Structure 1
Amino acid sequence: MSSLYYLDRSKISLDDVMFNDNVKEALEQFLKEYKYREVIMKYNLPVSNKILLYGKTGCGKTMTAKAIAKHLDKKLIVVNLATIVSSKLGETAKNIESLFKEVQYESSVLFFDEFDSLGQIRDYDNKDNSEMKRVVNAILQLIDNLPEKSILMAATNQIHMIDEALRRRFELQLEYTSPNAEALDSYYDKMLAVYPEEYRAVERIYDISYAEAKTHIFKTVKDNIINSQIALEQ
């Protein structure tokens, strides 16, 4: 099983993730429902435990999964899609089934990154198309039988390539949009606040993702530190 997934032990909190207002509100409601799920279920009301995150790369989808797992004190299982979506389609359904059996026995967060690798619509010949339908049906059945104590999260940059039947299984579908200038300014302020004043001189670049801004900040701060040390040695 270790070849199918890895356990992520990152210590990322919800405060570390930059959310737009819609996503923040939806996740807060999700966490409240999950906390009080036993009471809610007594009244035969459904409790969400499947979330699809979609949108531009570098805007916080993967960090959200890590933060949710930490907040709920659950193991985060990150699926190795390159292994599960094998070249032999006949083995793919078996791989997925064995993975979902793993989460039947303990409360965890199961995270599929690049989910379109599993659910995307492609042009197959008749034989392969039949195999892919079996794979999709296997995923649907396994998602439907996910224990309520576990959480399924999936992320994609190409939601239009995911089978509609798969998408409908996710009670929450949250869009991660590119940050505007105000959001990026808040991010720059938050990231730079941990460094001494003399290292905070960073040119602010806009129209980029949070991940790109983070890379830019780290590179510039490191350059500032190095240049400061060189100046001291002269």
Structure 2
Amino acid sequence: MAYHDTTLRTKHKTLTLEELHLSEEVRNSIHQLIEEFTYLEALKKYDIPVDNKILLHGKTGCGKTATVHAIGKALNKEVITLNLGGFVSSKLGETGKNITELFKKTSYNNAILFIDEFDFIGKLRDYDNKDSGEMQRLVNTIIQQIDNMSDTALLIGATNHLEVIDSALLRRFQIKLKYKLPTSEQLDNYYDSLLAKFPKEINSIKRAYDLSYAEAKDIALQQIKANVIQIEKRNKA
């Protein structure tokens, strides 16, 4: 099955929320979420439910996945990552059973189920008419599992295409956070913090704008690597 478990161990260093470049609105909402789970028992005394279904949407490379792992780190929760686009089988009934098992595992472990490419459920409308009934059953299965999810577990979906997701699914998410491209000022601050790690002789780059933090990092590092290589070539000449 196309999913994997992570705790605090990831391919790259797991950043804290303070280290992420987030808008004030997104940051405040995430902090509220963490506060609710930190004081979950106090809220239960008054029968107040926590918001445990979050949808992150917006541009690629703006920190959605990093946010999920930062939440996992802050709450010390296992993150179960499911890429929906690579998970859906041609046998949709089989996919429904597998998704049900993942939701059960998430609830049992009080974990975070992170569903990436959540918009893929909308793209399933492109299946042949003969599959439309199976597709609707899959959507209904996901809705049922979301509704039955333990309030001590978290569901976080991520999408770049909010508009294609079934409205009945969208209604299940109590929190929807939009990730926008950073402004030129925000990118300059990001470039400054990134370049400060390197000596002056290699940190001279041409800055690009109107792109995500991930794209900015790639562009900056490509130029820094080129600078390093040029210095090495000169030293060996």
TM norm structure 1: 0.93
Corresponding residue of 1:114: 117
- Structure 1 unaligned spans of 5+: none
Alignment partner, residue 193 of structure 2: 190
Give CA deviations for 1:107-131 in whole Å, capped at 9, x if unaligned.
Answer: 2211111101124462555542221
Runs of 4+ displaced beyond 6 Å:
none
Contact 2:85/2:117, CA 8 A, preserved across alignment: no
SS at match of 1:71: helix
Query: How far apart, in 2, do the equivalents of 1:156 and 1:139 lie?
Result: 16
1:77 partnered with 2:80:
yes
Alpha carbons 1:121, 1:162 under 8 Å: kept: no
Give the secondary-structure state (helix, strand or coil) at the position aligned to 1:175.
strand
User: Is the alpha carbon distance of 1:82 and 1:156 closer, same or farther for their aligned partners in structure 2, counting shifts above 3 Å?
Assistant: closer
- The letter for the 1-side match of 2:156 is M
The equivalent residue for 1:146 is 149
Cα RMSD for the two superposed structures: 1.6
Query: 1:1-234, aligned counterparts within 5 Å?
Result: 3-8=1-6, 9-10=9-10, 11-120=14-123, 122-124=125-127, 126-234=129-237
- How big is each residue's C-alpha offset from its partner over 1:12-71, in whole Å with a ceiling of 9 and x where there is no partner? 221332111211111111111111111112111120111100001111111111111112
Q: 1:139 to 1:65 in 2, by over 3 A?
A: same
CA distance in 2, matches of 1:43, 1:131: 41
State the identity as a percent: 47
Equivalenced residue count is 232
Contact 1:7 1:75 in 2 (8 A): yes
Change (3 A) 1:126 1:227: closer
> What TM-score does the superposition give when structure 2 sets the normalisation length?
0.92
List alignment gaps of at least 5 residues for structure 2: none
